[in-house]
Structure formats: structure tokens, C-alpha cells
Amino acid sequence: MTEYFEVGKILTTHGLKGEVKVNPITDFIDERFEAGSRLFIGADNEDIERQVTVASARMQKQFVLVYFEEITDIDQAQKILKKNLFVADSDRDELPEGSYYFKDILDLPVYDNESGEKIGTLINIETPGANDIWEIKPEQGKNFWIPNIASVVKKVDLENKRIEVTLLEGLRNEN
């Protein structure tokens, strides 16, 4: 069975010829929305409705304006509003060494780099600005956030399914 990963949400129509405004949810905007790219439309990754091909795309502020080959007028475009866009797992590119997809690291155990003690599990990733922040759920106590920066995240080991970090003072609320 094919796995799908969300890369955007269709927000509104743009003009009368079927162009749509998309909020991208990917670090690979140029690759995902380049002419000829194959995307899938659906409510979620379990409910894919149809495949579409990007005819053209251009950035407008933080959004992408996209024409699909299969959507040629505003009436067709209105039928896909508020739907999500997905890429098939088979269409994802190999990442360079030291890079990873969020889905590959979510739910991995997180260990203290020095003591080897398990700190918790990575349960959420947010991308608010300059660097991502990761939410860690400890075995006991409150969840806390760490920045994905070199001084904190020391190693992401996908082969052994573990993340090693050095917690800076004040990152973890012990109360």
C-alpha cells in the first residue's frame, strides 16, 4: 500500500482559469510544486481522491499559486478547496547525509548524550522560524521543548532508532 505525506493545503481559487492558492507544508517547495510533479488530493492520507499534475507554480508571499493540468477552470478548482495535497512515498527524494523526514524521527526515544539515560520520546515538531523545536514527552513529568540546534541535538541515529541530546540549563522544567 502506498504511503502519502502532506505537502500543502488548498486554500482558495485565484482567478478564473483554475489556479489555486496553496499553503505549503514542506521544506521542498521548489521540488514539490515544479512543473510535472505528481501530487494527490484528499481529505487525509487515508482518503486520497485523485492524482493531479502540476502544470505551473509560482510563489506569492508565503503561498504557492498552482495550476494543475487536470483543473482548467474556476468551477473545477472550487471542488478541491480546503483539501490537502500529498506526495507519494515513492516520489520523495533521498535526503543528504544528516537530513531526515519528520515522519522518520517522530516517536524515537531521546537519550542524554553524556549519561546515556533515556529522557523521553520525540512526539511533536514545530517549525516556527530559524530552527525547528521538538516536543519531548518524558516517562514522568511534563512535556518540554528543545531547539533543533547543534549544541542541543548531538546525534539522530535512524539506524539504531535513537536521538542523543545535551540539555542546556533551563530547557527542562523540573517542577
pLDDT 10s digits, 21-49? 999 988 788 989 999 999 999 988 778 99
Give me the residue label for grid cell 508571499: 61
Grade residue 173 by pLDDT with cuts at 50, 70 and 90.
Answer: low
Last residue of a domain, one of 38, 59, 89: 89
Residues 130 and 151 in one domain: yes
Question: Do residues 131 and 147 make contact, with C-beta atoms less than 8 angstroms apart?
Answer: yes
CATH of the domain at 107: 2.30.30.240
Q: Among positive and negative, which fits the CA dihedral 57, 63, 68, 72?
A: negative
Q: What local confidence, expressed as pLDDT, does residue 43 receive?
A: 86
Q: Which residues constitute the domain of residue 28?
A: 4-89
- Burial bucket for residue 120 (CB in 10 Å: 0-12, 13-18, 19+): buried
Q: With respect to residue 96, please indicate whether it lies within any of the assigned structural domains.
A: no
For 102, residues 6+ apart whose C-beta sits below 8 A from its C-beta are: 125
Residues 76 and 20 in one domain: yes
pLDDT at 110 over 50: yes
- Cα torsion at 6, 31, 62, 130 (round to 10°)? 90
Nearest to 42, CA basis, from 95, 2, 101: 2
Q: What percent of the chain has pLDDT over 90?
A: 60
Instruction: Give the predicted TM-score (pTM) of the model.
Output: 0.65
Which three cell numbers mark 76? 473545477
pLDDT at 94 over 50: yes
Residues 110 and 137 in one domain: yes
Which three cell numbers mark 69? 493540468
**Mean pLDDT value of segment 109-121:** 94
Strand-by-strand arrangement of the 133-137 sheet: 144-147, 133-137, 118-126, 109-112, 162-165, 153-157
Higher pLDDT, 131 or 111: 111
Residues 24 and 83 in one domain: yes
As a residue count, the chain comes to 175
Grade residue 175 by pLDDT with cuts at 50, 70 and 90.
Answer: very low
Instruction: Summarize pLDDT for 130-162 with one digit per residue, the tens.
Output: 788 899 999 888 999 999 999 999 999 988 999
**Mean pLDDT value of segment 79-105:** 84
Taking residue 96's Cβ as centre, other Cβ atoms within 10 Å add up to: 6
